[in-house]
Amino acid sequence: MKVRNRQEAVKHEVNMTSMIDIVFLLLVFFVMTFKIVEMEGDFSVRMPLASDESGAVDDTELPIKLRLRADDSGMLTSIQLNEISLGVDFASLQNTVIGLVGSAVPGDDAGEGPEIEIDTDFHLRYEHVIESITAVSGYKEGDQTVKLIEKIKFAKPRR
């Protein structure tokens, strides 16, 4: 049978242009604001203001003294740990700390363990201070971190 006047099926096409515009705007926004996250961590330093009524101090409680010297440009010129001169080698510093602290690995309580006082020249670059804190705080053994000294404080700033 012949069918006449068959109407063509009407196609309803959604206009995509505006949606694509917005989607591309969103994409550009995210691309422009995207920033690769740098992993950051902290070295904790607990330094309450020293009280004047501390009284007699037991010699065994005296902190290990770390002296860092710098030239005028802020470069490290010498490391001294308890009067032991170590040049500018952080590996030597770490080995000496291991020798001093020995197997006295800090316990679970963060308040336990030896203390170190960092006395640095004013102009020393902060990067070197962090290097020295890294050396005395511990070292990596595979994926494990072996802790050495967790209690860190600074001496008075030298002007």
Partner 1 sequence: MQVKSRKVDLAEGDLTPMIDMVFQLIAFFMVLINFAQTEANDRVVLPQSVLVKPPEEALQFPIVLHVTQDGAIILGGDSYTVDNLRIGLSRELAVIRAEGKSPADANVIIRAHKDTAAGDVQEVIRVAQDQELERFALRVKEDRS
- For partner 1, the binding residues (CB under 8 A) are 16, 20, 23-24, 26-27, 30-31, 33-35, 37-49, 68, 74, 120-131, 133-134, 137-140, 145, 154, 156-159
For residue 51, the minimal CB distance to partner 1 (Å) is 12
Identity of the residue, 12 or 122, whose beta carbon is nearer to partner 1 in the bound complex = 122
Identity of the residue, 82 or 117, whose beta carbon is nearer to partner 1 in the bound complex = 117
For residue 65, the minimal CB distance to partner 1 (Å) is 15
Burial of 137 (0-12, 13-18, 19+ CB in 10 A): buried
Angle of helix 126-137 relative to helix 90-101, nearest 10 degrees, comes to 40
Separation of alpha carbons 115 and 131, rounded Å: 17
Give the DSSP H/E element, type plus range, for residue 117.
Answer: strand 115-120
For residue 1, the minimal CB distance to partner 1 (Å) is 29
Separation of alpha carbons 70 and 123, rounded Å: 7
Residue type at 157 in one-letter notation: P
Separation of alpha carbons 77 and 73, rounded Å: 10
- SS3 category, 109: coil
Identity of the residue, 3 or 37, whose beta carbon is nearer to partner 1 in the bound complex = 37
For residue 150, the minimal CB distance to partner 1 (Å) is 11
For residue 18, the minimal CB distance to partner 1 (Å) is 13
Identity of the residue, 33 or 60, whose beta carbon is nearer to partner 1 in the bound complex = 33
Q: 56 φ, ψ to 5°?
A: -70, 135
Identity of the residue, 3 or 39, whose beta carbon is nearer to partner 1 in the bound complex = 39
